[in-house]
Amino acid sequence: MAGIEHIKVEPDEAGMRLDRWFKVHFPGLGFGQLQKLMRSGQVRVDGGRVKTDARVQPGQMVRVPPLDVDAKATKSGPIAGKELKHSGDAELLARMLLHEDDKVYVLNKPAGLAVQGGSGVSRHIDKMLEAWTSQKGEKPRLVHRLDRDTSGVLVVARTRGAAQKLTAAFRERDTKKTYWSLVKGVPRKHEDKISTWLVKEATADGDRMRIAKHGEEGADHAVSYYRVVETAAQRLAWLEMEPYTGRTHQLRVHALHIGHPIIGDPKYFEDDPNWDFPGGVQKRLHLHARHIDIPHPNGGRLRITAPLPPHMVQTWNLLGFDEASAGEPDDE
């Protein structure tokens, strides 16, 4: 058991709830135990008493009393680009882990890491999962995917039976996936449904999706919903988006279709000489799989939220967006 510690809040932890911050740094600490430490004033932020739902900010100092638990051996939180290249598979997967039980892993996939292999892909999660092969020789299985440049919630089955049930839930659309994005301009309608047909076409820069013509061969129907959460000077909008169908690049193409492409999208953001890219915002895809609500293979439902990636935390801070504005769902 260590003595009193004062731990500085890191930039990638901006806006994180204090109870979640403790869960990241001290996963063995029970929620009831944490509440008791809060009530007695043993846990403080910048010297002041706080509640478990307080949100921490970079540079704040968290007073941590002696705890009879082990701190996480590996660093937690978002993963930097250089770590994607130089860290081991098992270490990286442990850093991504949001939830674990006997049937399911839920990861917070970093932007820039592919889910599956392909041309020009040297490292991807499907291959990395071999590091978590069970003693029975069973490798965890992917049940859905995210684009390489999209960050956020990725559900992985630990067993064949769990994979069958989770795959069925996605196929039967008994899941609710919520994404956060930052788009150019502000949609005229505060919330709306987007319904189109999409078709894949080959381009010099690789495959790209586009809106299909009526009756075009090979086209798939795609339906998305969105709502505006906050705006920045009518130049940018934070959208909460929900794909009802699961087509390739669906949200990215739909954002472009309504005239509000996602900031930093390397495939679908079109340069406009009359529009300046906002200063201080990284030219990286601002699309994050924020939350998933899916039936658990053992019964009940699994609800998991993924913290924003560092480049979106930076943008949200720059624009003064408050994560609480979206009305966060409760995790279980």
Please count the other Cβ atoms lying within 10 Å of the Cβ belonging to residue 60. Answer: 19
* CA-wise closest residue to 152 among 106, 192, 216: 106
Q: How far apart are CA 240 and CA 235, in angstroms?
A: 17
- Cα 170 from chain centre: 18
Given phi > 0 = left and psi -120 to 50 = alpha, else beta, which region is 77?
left
Q: How many Å apart are CA 100 and CA 68, to the nearest integer?
A: 22
SS3 of 17, please?
A: strand
| Burial category of 271 from C-beta neighbours within 10 Å (exposed 0-12, middle 13-18, buried 19 and up) | exposed
Q: Are 254 and 222 in contact (CB under 8 A)?
A: yes
Catalytic residues: 147
Alpha-carbon span 229 to 226, nearest angstrom: 9
Which residues make Cβ contacts (< 8 Å) with residue 188, sequence separation at least 6? none
Closest CA to 221 of 164, 154, 293, 173: 173
The structure tokens listed for 318 are: 């720059």
- The vertex-37 CA angle with 31 and 41, nearest 5°, equals 140
